[in-house]
Chains A and B, each alone.
Chain A
Amino acid sequence: MPAYSPDRRTFLRGMGATLATATVGGGLLAACSGNTTQSTSSAGASSAKAARGGTANLAIQDTPVNMDPAQAELYSSMQVYQNIFSELIKVDANYNYHPNLATSWSQESDTAWLFEIVDNAVFSNGEPVTANDVAFTIQRIKSQALGPYFEFFDKTEVINPHKFRIHLAKPFGPLEATISYLLDITNEKAIKSQDPKTTPVGCGPYKLKEWVHNSHVTLERYDKYFKKDIPYLDEVTFTSVGDDTVRLSGLQTGQFQWIQGVPPQQTTTLMSSSSIDHTPAMPVFPYILFLNCSRPPFNDQRVRQAVAWAVDRDEIVKLAFFGTAVASAEPIAKQNPFYSGVNPYSGGPDLDKAKSLMRQAGVSNADVVFLSQAEVPLYTAIGQVLKSQLAKIGLNLNIQTLSSAEWFGEFSALKYGLGVTYESTTVDPANSYYLDVYSKSPFNWTGCKSPAIDAALQKFTFQSDQKLRKQYYPELVHTVAEVAPEIFLAVDDQQYWTVPALHGAAPLPSLEIRAEDLWRST
């Protein structure tokens, strides 16, 4: 083998290659960090007039699985089909309710609400929208996956084709919230003649054009939408892109015009980018620590309270969320009209109080299984922070990461010690508390049966006077915090990122992606 002795030509070739590599590498680094030119533009703050026409490709994190609004198994499905169907009322970013299909509604008594709907709404199969469809939708949904949310809807009395009355089994405070994001009106004829999972027939701003499973869903403008002059875009495509980096790259190259979910570490950098717009961040996803009250050590309320005293929410927000969440001791943040700010553990973390409670309970050096989901790395990150926090009071967390299928099975069978999950139903906090901790709720995965919580929940949930509910809410927050079957950690932000040419994007407490508001400038 000859010894290596490069001549001048060989050496220069090598230097050229090195220079090229350095240039590409530098370009890569620059691209990854984004532009640093200051920009404070936000997607919804354009002063230009909304223009009709154009298309937009929206990259969502998950994959829609079916288009039946009565199933709503996944948030990703709702994001799409809520643009095909219409609700009676809509909620805005300030938690105010506005007419949609319903032109007016009023509470006649504690258990009766009168609604009037538009007379020009037509389903995409040509059938007019009538009060009978509303009655059918409510009746159907009660026997489907979303049934528990409509448990107290007794019957729907059709007065005339455009007027009906909802009778409740008991006063139900979250009625407006529930129908604003969970009651998408369906057509009886369409449901009975076609598979609603694959062939959605709605009266919303768009109708289904193409659906390639696990890839994308394309909606096209529905010309008989009952609202004049909208939607603006001719077509909207929802593309499922699970990887944060791929989604962000697609936005930066213009392949996508709207994305949700960027790597949280890059949020600060991206917010100052001149080539990417962003909406304000709205905290809407509560992250909740569930404690299994059916087995030691958390069958002892003192141990649960010790955990509540030991948890450092600010540290969790900083380390697990990279600051893209707000610490909260309830399922909502300050923007929600119900927000109370109540926290029996304010001033915490207080390790002395926590250790004292642990001593009183006679628990020390206990091993606890923390269940995490492989598909949600954030759960594991939270678990790791909690592990270090709770080790200080003698609780040794063993983090077990399972696939979501196993996780749901273990959780619902109460085979865990601690677990974290997030919820998306935060328009009205009753929809969170009632399902999670009411003793008879089929979704009470804490195993806690507390008469005090039940009483506070009954008082808050089954009260139709919203002013009174606001007075009762702090008591509910306090009671749940005292019993501590669940501990609220933080409320995660919902924020959207768009190209500058796309306007109208805004996060909403109902988590809708309201495509009818989107428009493109030239």
Chain B
Amino acid sequence: MIVRRLLVTIPMLFGAAVIVFFVLRLIPGDPATAILGSHSSPALVAQVREDLGLNKPIYVQFGDWISRILLHGNFGQDYITSQSISSEMASRLPVTLELCALAFAGSVIIAIPAGVVAAAHRGGWADRIIQFVSVVTIAIPDFVFGILGILLFALVLKLVPSSGFIPFSVSPWENIQSLALPAIALALGFAGVLARVTRSAMIEALQADNIVFARAVGIQPRSIVYRHALRSAAIPIVTVAGMQAGYILGSTVVIETLFVVPGIGQEVVQAMLNRDYTVMQACVLIFVTGFILMNLLTDLFYLVLNPKLRRAAT
């Protein structure tokens, strides 16, 4: 089943590449004038278009691009900065992945226990507070949390820097400090959703017949909640977590720009503003690939959680 899923991923990625390439070219705005800005005389614009290969038929442009990736593993060169896009992505991707991993881990660690507690104390103070907080975190955009976090934790409390990124290899502690705020801003909305889903799934699980039986035979409440009910509720939780992880990746566009974190998200914003097709294509393709892989991992995790699915797969 794993092999089959991996094989299916290949045409999905190719389809995504086709869509990315052609959809980006529907965006209004000429890359040549975007690059040249106020210096865009007709002669220079023509020269830049020639250099970028924009005068070729679109299917030729696509063929050149896809063959360069498939045959040489090369995304091309950024026309504005003359940087190799592949090396740019290679330096930025780990930053984004670290940020997303911190956000994902933090939100799971907070949200799942919160959802469990809310379900276990349904109707009580804890449940109400957790529901209220989760609605607030869902409603408020992540960049608002980011700004508020900067004002509180950086400006007032001076616990973390307001922006910037320190690589882990330079200083592990400063690395964590520099990513703390962006990760929290990313995690909060996701945590709210996950907490609510966990609560709903746990409420349903706690009403199941096996749980009623477990209570009747005197199994400890803690054991009932965490060993029996949580396992039953895990499938929808994992489903939402997997989907939300993909959205976390997309949300890095705003958060990395706000906090000046040199990841893929920040790069795609600059590329979009500059109509830098080659960089945009590479960045969006990476995001799409990440989303597809997250869904694949989610599907594979189902097999771990549910023995019936393992038997069906084999």
Which residues of A in the span 154-208 have a Cβ within 8 Å of any Cβ on B?
A: 195, 197-198
Tell which of B35, B40, B156, B164 touches A255, judged by Cβ atoms closer than 8 Å: B164
| Inter-chain contact B152/A408, CB cutoff 8 Å | no
| Inter-chain contact B273/A403, CB cutoff 8 Å | yes
**What is the chain A residue whose CB lies nearest that of B148?**
A28
Which residues of A in the span 401-444 have a Cβ within 8 Å of any Cβ on B?
A: 402-406, 408-409, 412, 421, 442-443
| Inter-chain contact B258/A214, CB cutoff 8 Å | no
Judged by DSSP, the binding face of B is helix
A-B contacts, CB under 8 A, total: 145
What 1/0 flags go to B75-97 for Cβ under 8 Å of A? 00000111100001001000000
Interface segment out of the listed B11-19, B41-49, B62-70, B244-252 = B41-49
Give the shortest distance, in Å, between A422 (CB) and chain B (any CB). Answer: 10
Residues of chain A contacted by B154 (CB below 8 angstroms): 249-250, 253, 255
| Inter-chain contact A405/B273, CB cutoff 8 Å | yes
| Inter-chain contact A249/B155, CB cutoff 8 Å | yes
When A214-B267, A245-B147, A250-B162 are in contact, do A405 and B33 touch as well, CB less than 8 Å?
A: yes
Residues of chain B contacted by A4 (CB below 8 angstroms): 125
Residue of A65, A242, A408 with most chain B CB atoms under a 10 A cut-off:
A408
In the complex, A494→B125 CA distance in Å? 54
Residues of chain B contacted by A240 (CB below 8 angstroms): 260
When A28-B156, A249-B155, A253-B162 are in contact, do A198 and B34 touch as well, CB less than 8 Å?
A: no
Tell which of B35, B165, B260 touches A241, judged by Cβ atoms closer than 8 Å: B260
Residues of chain B contacted by A361 (CB below 8 angstroms): none
Tell which of B123, B125, B152 touches A24, judged by Cβ atoms closer than 8 Å: B152
In the complex, A146→B44 CA distance in Å? 11
Interface segment out of the listed B24-32, B105-113, B218-226, B287-295 = B24-32
Residues of chain A contacted by B165 (CB below 8 angstroms): 215
In the complex, A252→B91 CA distance in Å? 30
| Inter-chain contact A31/B270, CB cutoff 8 Å | no
Residues of chain B contacted by A255 (CB below 8 angstroms): 154, 161-164
**What is the chain A residue whose CB lies nearest that of B271?**
A214
When A145-B36, A403-B273 are in contact, do A250 and B161 touch as well, CB less than 8 Å?
A: yes
Give the shortest distance, in Å, between B133 (CB) and chain A (any CB). Answer: 13
Residues of chain B contacted by A215 (CB below 8 angstroms): 164-165, 260-262, 266
In the complex, A48→B88 CA distance in Å? 44
| Inter-chain contact B258/A243, CB cutoff 8 Å | yes
Tell which of B40, B43, B151, B270 touches A249, judged by Cβ atoms closer than 8 Å: B151
| Inter-chain contact A245/B38, CB cutoff 8 Å | no
| Inter-chain contact B151/A32, CB cutoff 8 Å | yes
Say yes or no: is A366 at the interface (Cβ < 8 Å to chain B). no
Say yes or no: is B199 at the interface (Cβ < 8 Å to chain A). no
| Inter-chain contact A405/B82, CB cutoff 8 Å | no
Which residues of B in the span 103-122 have a Cβ within 8 Å of any Cβ on A?
A: none
Say yes or no: is B150 at the interface (Cβ < 8 Å to chain A). yes
26 cross-chain CB contacts under 8 A:
A2-B124, A24-B152, A24-B156, A27-B156, A28-B148, A28-B156, A31-B151, A66-B80, A72-B39, A145-B44, A213-B88, A214-B262, A214-B267, A216-B260, A242-B257, A242-B260, A245-B147, A250-B161, A250-B163, A255-B163, A255-B164, A403-B272, A405-B28, A408-B38, A443-B39, A443-B41
| Inter-chain contact B123/A1, CB cutoff 8 Å | yes
Say yes or no: is A280 at the interface (Cβ < 8 Å to chain B). no
| Inter-chain contact A246/B37, CB cutoff 8 Å | no
In the complex, A442→B46 CA distance in Å? 13
| Inter-chain contact A442/B43, CB cutoff 8 Å | yes
Q: Hey, which bits of chain B sit against chain A, CB under 8 A? A: 28-31, 33-45, 80-83, 88, 91, 123-125, 147-148, 150-152, 154-156, 158, 161-165, 257-262, 266-267, 270, 272-275
Say yes or no: is A463 at the interface (Cβ < 8 Å to chain B). no
On chain A, the number of residues with a Cβ less than 8 Å from chain B's Cβ atoms is 50
Residues of chain A contacted by B42 (CB below 8 angstroms): 442
| Inter-chain contact B37/A198, CB cutoff 8 Å | no
| Inter-chain contact B33/A213, CB cutoff 8 Å | no
When A74-B37, A443-B41 are in contact, do A31 and B30 touch as well, CB less than 8 Å?
A: no
Q: Which 9 pairs between the two chains have the least Cβ-Cβ distance?
A: A405-B29, A405-B34, A442-B41, A215-B262, A406-B29, A1-B123, A249-B162, A405-B275, A408-B33
When A213-B262, A249-B151 are in contact, do A443 and B163 touch as well, CB less than 8 Å?
A: no
In the complex, A216→B259 CA distance in Å? 12
| Inter-chain contact A408/B37, CB cutoff 8 Å | yes
In the complex, A74→B80 CA distance in Å? 11
Say yes or no: is A83 at the interface (Cβ < 8 Å to chain B). no
| Inter-chain contact B39/A73, CB cutoff 8 Å | yes
When A253-B155, A442-B41 are in contact, do A409 and B29 touch as well, CB less than 8 Å?
A: yes
Give the shortest distance, in Å, between A356 (CB) and chain B (any CB). Answer: 36
**What is the chain A residue whose CB lies nearest that of B269?**
A214
Tell which of A28, A72, A148 touches B151, judged by Cβ atoms closer than 8 Å: A28
In the complex, A148→B44 CA distance in Å? 11
Residues of chain B contacted by A465 (CB below 8 angstroms): none
In the complex, A409→B45 CA distance in Å? 10
| Inter-chain contact B81/A198, CB cutoff 8 Å | yes
Which residues of A in the span 237-274 have a Cβ within 8 Å of any Cβ on B?
A: 239-243, 245-246, 249-250, 252-253, 255
